[in-house]
Amino acid sequence: MNTHAVWSEALEDASSEEITLFAQLAPKTLSNASAPTQEGESRGKGLLLTKKQIIDLRKYESAALALPYHVADVKDYLNFGDPAGGGAGLRVDDFVKTFRATRTHARRWSPLRESIMLTGSQLKLFAASMAIYERSMEEVYDDVRAARLLDKNNIETLEQLKQLELELGGKFPGIDLPPGTVEDIGYYLDQIYKKVGDNLKVVKSIKLALDYFGYDLRQHILPEIKLRLSLIGSTLLPAEVEMLKRQVDDRALRIEEKNTEYANAVERSLGAATGMNLIGLALAIYLGVEAENIRAERNRLYQEQEAAIEELRGKHQTLGSLSRVKHDLQGLELVAIDADIATQNLMHVWNVMHLYIQSSQDAVAKITDALRLRLFMQAFRAVASPWKQIEHDADALIAVFKEADEEYERVYGIRTRAAFAMLPSTDYPTVDTGILADSNRLMRDGAIQSRVLFIRWNYLPQLHQRFDALVLGVDNSSDVLKEVALSTRMALEGRVRRLQALDKELASALDEQDVQDIEADRAGELAQMSRCVTQSTRQLSDQLSTIRDVFDRRLSLGFVEDMEREQHRVEAGLKRLEDERAERQKARGLASDAIGLLKTGGIEAIGNDLVLTLEHVTKLGIAPPEVQLIMQAIEQLKKTLAQVGEGVRFLDLVRARDQLVGKIQALDADIDKLHGQLNALKGKVQFIRVIHGIDDQRQRYVGQYQGVVAAYRSFARLIEANAYLAQEQRSLDLIHQAQRFMAFLAPLALPLALHG
């Protein structure tokens, strides 16, 4: 049996009173179903909306908004070593799509959250008023019955009751009677019905937005994140890296073989050329061509190997980046799943309140002027009854959001985006203007340092621009704070003086018209004070929103980690090259010494083509220690240069030394290149650390600045709370509170440099 059939059978053959009662009980049953104390009914996991779940939504919002979404930023974040990325579905454009969709979705939460809290507050207030309206209608009904006005005026229906002139002053607070309008029960009823309908429209619109938010999270965002994770988990990149590594190893072996072949061919060619006859010359030419072919093949293998090694390096880098991205996406998936559960629970709570208001609206629809008074009172009670539960639920909802905001702020050090539902307090937070000035100065110094590093290394331009704008925003916020604090203090001073003068004037006033005029002036001053504080609060709140740009360091710390790992790799490569250079420089020195000794011994007179064996060198009459040095140089060259064969002549020794010079120069170029890479890595890491330092100071600054905003909001709530006091008491109270607030503002109105 489906759900529709269940509800249909429940309403079959029911009277209008039973249907009304059913409409009242249905949402309450749903509401109770989410309570852990309900007996005899089961509930799915996580039906209760808890403080943790609201925090989960804030975590999701924070994590999603921290994602890079510009193509350049995503490229920097991914740091792939291969233009192809991780393959199909794991390219830069794919991640841009996922990150943008997630970020766009998360941006919808803050306005939705604020709408829920504001509407919840309005529902709570109207629910409280509805309780008064219900009592007032009961009193009206009891009054007209007690005075026998029903029988006397032959009143039986609501329409006839509306025509009866009654004294209704004060019975329906919150409903303004237009000037010149005669008090009429019908007018008040129409306004009540209108307010019920208006609340239903607002709640419906939020319900729709919340439903879309939950639907998109579950049907689009979570699947998109899971898709990227699954693609990373099933990537063929590790297998490609392993295959490429085998190819590199095989090719290295072939290159080594070609080096040996080439050396042998050159040696045979030289040996044949020494025959000094046509056959020997022809053989030498043949062997020389063969050696050249071997050299060409070896060079081709060298080029292939260099390209393969570069490709392998790129794929290794991409594979490492994918591992890091996978870790980040797993974290994002976790908070998104928690946010999904929280959204479903919030949707349930909001649906329950919507059903309550709908049941109230349905009861309104059943009220007609033709209803008999007893039935009208029964119907009106049905209109008012759901609002008792609405008041309770709205209050509980506001409390959960408030507790979640406080805990989120305490644990994560981030203030909530909206000042809401906090009890009035006259204890203003301590604001250290010295910290404001110091952190502002350090941010400016950091901005200059980051600009120098950015000009030098041109790294992460979007991040550089973001923090440049942030520092400028903090500078502006300092100016705005000083101007707003000064203008507020002076405005309050003027209002307090005028209120004190009006209170004094009122105490001595005798004429009734004078009293009315003075009270009107005082009401105007109080209203102006409220508007002034509200406007100033809004200005500072806007500034706070600008500089409270949460920067998630996970991405940048990941960059630092990658670059420090790369720095270690480059340093290891640099040491290897420097060791190799030292070895070749040593071989070059030995070769130069040996050449010098051989020239001194007269090698050129005997023949430069003489193979330098121990016997031949000894015959030159060179001293034994020097002979040993020459032979050591020859052995060193054989180890250092693969092209040097067994039979080394004087000319081979000279050419080998010249080769060493070229290789040393090439090594010098490679060493310089690695030094450049190392400096770039260190500079980029320093750039990110400077950015982190700026953000540290921003957090210090925001910590003090939000104290100022909290104080303004607290004072604004005091003004709002005092609106329900008698005007005389309200004036006295606000004079006292304004004086305390002006004392709080005094140091803030001074230039921050005075405190630096």
Ranges 91-105, 232-246, 719-733: which has the least confidence: 719-733
Q: Is residue 598 part of a domain?
A: no
Q: Is residue 159 part of a domain?
A: yes
CA distance 571 to 573: 5
CA distance 352 to 246: 64
- Give me the pLDDT at residue 102, please: 94
CA distance 515 to 523: 12
- Give me the pLDDT at residue 36, please: 39
- Give me the pLDDT at residue 415, please: 38
- Give me the pLDDT at residue 3, please: 38
Predicted confidence band of residue 753 (pLDDT cuts 50, 70, 90):
low
Q: How many CB atoms lie within 10 A of CB 415?
A: 19
- Mean pLDDT, rounded, for 499-517: 82
pTM score of the predicted model = 0.46
Q: Is residue 508 part of a domain?
A: no
The three-class DSSP label of residue 157 is strand
- Give me the pLDDT at residue 182, please: 45
Percent of the chain with pLDDT over 90: 8
Q: Does pLDDT of 754 surpass 50?
A: no
Q: Is residue 60 part of a domain?
A: yes
The label of the residue with tokens 């609106």 reads: 723
**DSSP assignment letter at 50:** -
Residue 99: closest CA among 131, 128, 149, 65: 65
- Give me the pLDDT at residue 371, please: 56
CA distance 279 to 285: 10
Ranges 146-150, 243-247, 367-371, 373-377: which has the least confidence: 146-150
10 Å CB burial of residue 276 (0-12, 13-18, 19+) is exposed
Q: Does pLDDT of 560 surpass 60?
A: yes
Q: Which residue has the higher pLDDT, 210 or 750?
A: 210
For residue 512, give every residue at least 6 positions away whose Cβ sits within 8 Å of its Cβ, in sequence order, or none.
Answer: none
Q: Is residue 749 part of a domain?
A: no
Q: Is residue 552 part of a domain?
A: no
Q: Does pLDDT of 88 surpass 80?
A: yes
For residue 308, give every residue at least 6 positions away whose Cβ sits within 8 Å of its Cβ, in sequence order, or none.
Answer: 244, 247, 248, 251
Q: Is residue 485 part of a domain?
A: no
- Give me the pLDDT at residue 99, please: 94
Q: Is residue 513 part of a domain?
A: no
Q: Which residue has the higher pLDDT, 564 or 37?
A: 564
- Give me the pLDDT at residue 126, please: 82
For the chain, give the mean pLDDT: 75
- Mean pLDDT, rounded, for 377-397: 81
- Give me the pLDDT at residue 701, please: 92
Q: How many CB atoms lie within 10 A of CB 384?
A: 22
For the segment 618-628, what is each residue's pLDDT rounded down to a tens digit? 656 566 676 66
For the segment 4-18, what is each residue's pLDDT rounded down to a tens digit? 443 344 444 544 444
For residue 509, give every residue at least 6 positions away whose Cβ sits within 8 Å of its Cβ, in sequence order, or none.
Answer: 515, 518
- Give me the pLDDT at residue 4, please: 40
Provide the residue range defining the domain that includes 100. 1-35+49-239+325-416
Q: Does pLDDT of 723 surpass 70?
A: no
**DSSP assignment letter at 82:** S
Predicted confidence band of residue 161 (pLDDT cuts 50, 70, 90):
low
Query: For residue 648, which amino acid is it?
Result: V
- Give me the pLDDT at residue 756, please: 39
- Looking at the structure of the chain, the number of domains it has is 1
For the segment 596-608, what is each residue's pLDDT rounded down to a tens digit? 666 665 555 445 5
10 Å CB burial of residue 4 (0-12, 13-18, 19+) is exposed
The three-class DSSP label of residue 372 is strand
The label of the residue with tokens 């297998």 reads: 239
**Which bin fits 458, alpha (ψ -120 to 50), beta or left (φ > 0)?**
left
Q: Does pLDDT of 297 surpass 90?
A: no
Query: For residue 576, which amino acid is it?
Result: R
Predicted confidence band of residue 157 (pLDDT cuts 50, 70, 90):
low
Adjacent-strand bridge partners of 157? 372
- Give me the pLDDT at residue 268, please: 61
